[in-house]
């Protein structure tokens, strides 16, 4: 009887601490394909809503210092707007997050050409990346949401049929965990990430957020925003966020790298001390909300982007117009253009290998 009681108590406790998931319609695409929205909720009232179109994080409601919930990510109200969108709001990015120089790479002696959708370069997987497909969704027993997409051999020029699985988990500690897994039947290159734009105030620009980056170096870029191959120390540059600084403090300085990116749009080389999750970044909104977001990842790099190309041309949720620098991105990743930079950590995935990486966004307030 005691054992039965213990097991029952454990099951009840586990159920009490698991996120709940509810499914709703999110509209249709231009061809009539139905798209769903899944909302994960924890016991603290935090909510994360994810759509099957592009696996995008549509909404993320977190408490401020007074416990009031507010949405801290940019996005759209329906699937049709995501299909028309151009800014990758909240989307899962693949096959290759960030840029590949000259839209080509060589793997095992063969050169592959991928779409040029960013000048002479390929950005975020090409013209029809993972963000432009409907993913297959499955609710897991622990309240997590699993999404899967099968990218066929030759999809956007990439070799191998790749099966990608991404799991969104919302914990009772107000942690949004994103786990990326993949396998391929031919050698390929892979760099999956999430492209959420955050604003911990909920609106206005993000230049007053306090940003900390656990990185001693970053990867400078050329005029096409392709890394030069150098790992440059941040010391003495506007890219030193080892102590909390606001982006607005130095974003308009007379610095060549800032001019090339029209602000911050660079990859930082994270300080890592071994496998597993380690601290990557912290953002605090010191004003009225007091919200804090910490990022932990097992990836070698993180792209910090300050919404430099937002220009007021897109209307988001509730008709809100997203102006210049009203959101920032922290894309955990391997370095941009790694397939063409042998000195960078490899992004090659071969048959029999398992791609498995996790990033956590941890929320609090003070």
pLDDT tens for the chain, 366 residues long, are 444 444 444 444 444 456 899 999 999 999 999 999 999 999 999 999 999 999 999 999 999 999 999 999 999 999 999 999 999 999 999 999 999 999 999 999 999 999 999 999 999 999 999 999 999 999 999 999 999 999 999 999 999 999 999 999 999 999 999 999 999 999 999 999 999 999 999 999 999 999 999 999 999 999 999 999 999 999 999 999 999 999 999 999 999 999 999 999 999 999 998 889 999 999 999 999 999 999 999 999 999 999 999 999 999 999 999 999 999 999 999 999 999 999 999 999 999 999 999 999 999 999
d(CA 236, CA 101): 28
Note whether residue 67 is domain-resident: yes
pTM of the model: 0.94
- Do 215 and 271 form a contact (C-beta atoms < 8 A)? yes
- In a domain, residue 4? The reply is no
| Contact (Cβ atoms closer than 8 angstroms) between residue 242 and residue 216 | yes
Distance of CA 324 to the CA centre of its chain: 20
Domain with 351, as residue range(s), is 19-365
Q: Please tell me the distance from the alpha carbon of residue 337 to that of residue 330, in angstroms, as a whole number.
A: 18
In a domain, 50, yes or no: yes
Work out the end-to-end distance of the chain between its first and last CA atoms, rounded to an integer number of angstroms: 45
Sheet containing 329-333: order of strands:
232-233, 215-219, 265-270, 301-305, 329-333
The 10 Å Cβ neighbour count of residue 14 is 12
Could you read off the pLDDT of 63-95 as tens digits, one per residue?
A: 999 999 999 999 999 999 999 999 999 999 999
The H or E element spanning position 134 is none
**Domain total in the chain:** 1
In a domain, 12, yes or no: no
pLDDT at residue 306 in the model: 98
Catalytic annotation present for 331 = yes
Q: Which residue has the tokens 């005029």?
A: 223
Contact 218, 267 (CB under 8 A): yes
Identified catalytic residue from 47, 314, 331, 360: 331
Retrieve residue 124's tokens.
């975020």
Q: What is the DSSP letter of 135?
A: P
- The closest of 40, 45, 94 to 68, measured between CA atoms, is 45
Q: Please tell me the distance from the alpha carbon of residue 219 to that of residue 226, in angstroms, as a whole number.
A: 9
- Is residue 2 in some structural domain? no
Residue 74's closest CA among 336, 358, 327, 355?
A: 327
pLDDT of residue 9: 44
Tell whether 229 is covered by a domain: yes
Give a yes or no: residue 49 inside a domain.
Answer: yes
Q: What does the pLDDT read at residue 10? A: 42
- Whether 1 is covered by a domain: the verdict is no
230 a catalytic residue: no
Residue 18: predicted pLDDT: 65
The CATH number for 56's domain is 2.70.98.10
Which pLDDT value is given to residue 16?
44
Residue of 195, 209, 266, 334 marked active site: 195
Instruction: Provide the 10 A C-beta neighbour count for residue 308.
Output: 16
The alpha carbon torsion through 255, 257, 262, 264 (nearest 10 deg) reads -100
């Amino acid at each position: 009887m005691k054992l039965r009681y213990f097991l029952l108590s454990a099951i009840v406790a586990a159920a009490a601490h698991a996120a709940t998931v509810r499914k709703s319609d999110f509209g249709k695409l231009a061809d009539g394909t139905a798209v769903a929205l899944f909302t994960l909720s924890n016991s603290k009232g935090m909510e994360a809503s994810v759509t099957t179109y592009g696996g995008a994080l549509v909404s993320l409601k977190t408490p401020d210092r007074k416990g009031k919930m507010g949405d801290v990510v940019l996005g759209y109200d329906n699937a049709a707007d995501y299909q028309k969108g151009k800014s990758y709001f909240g989307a899962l990015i693949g096959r290759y997050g960030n840029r590949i120089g000259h839209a080509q790479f060589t793997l095992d002696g063969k050169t592959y050409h991928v779409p040029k959708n960013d000048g002479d370069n390929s950005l975020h997987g090409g013209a029809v990346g993972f963000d432009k497909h409907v993913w297959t969704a499955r609710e897991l027993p622990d309240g997590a949401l699993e999404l899967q997409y099968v990218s066929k051999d030759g999809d956007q020029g990439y070799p191998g049929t790749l099966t990608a699985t991404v799991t969104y988990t919302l914990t009772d500690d107000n942690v949004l965990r994103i786990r990326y897994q993949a396998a391929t039947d031919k050698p390929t290159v892979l760099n999956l990430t999430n492209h959420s734009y955050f604003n911990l105030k909920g609106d206005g620009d993000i230049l007053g957020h306090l940003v900390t980056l656990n990185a001693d170096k970053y990867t400078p870029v050329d005029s096409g925003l392709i890394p030069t191959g150098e790992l440059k120390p941040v010391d003495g540059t506007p890219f030193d966020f080892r102590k909390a600084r606001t982006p607005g403090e130095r974003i308009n300085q007379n610095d060549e790298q800032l001019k090339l990116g029209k602000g911050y749009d660079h990859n930082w080389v994270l300080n890592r001390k071994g496998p597993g999750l380690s601290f990557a970044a912290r953002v605090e909104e010191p004003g009225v909300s007091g919200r804090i977001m910490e990022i932990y990842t097992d990836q070698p790099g993180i792209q910090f982007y300050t919404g430099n190309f937002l220009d007021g041309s897109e209307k988001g949720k509730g008709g809100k117009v997203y102006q210049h620098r009203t959101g920032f991105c922290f894309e955990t990743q391997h370095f941009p253009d790694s397939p063409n930079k042998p000195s960078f950590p490899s992004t090659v995935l071969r048959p029999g290998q398992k791609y498995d990486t996790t990033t956590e966004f941890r929320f609090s307030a003070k």
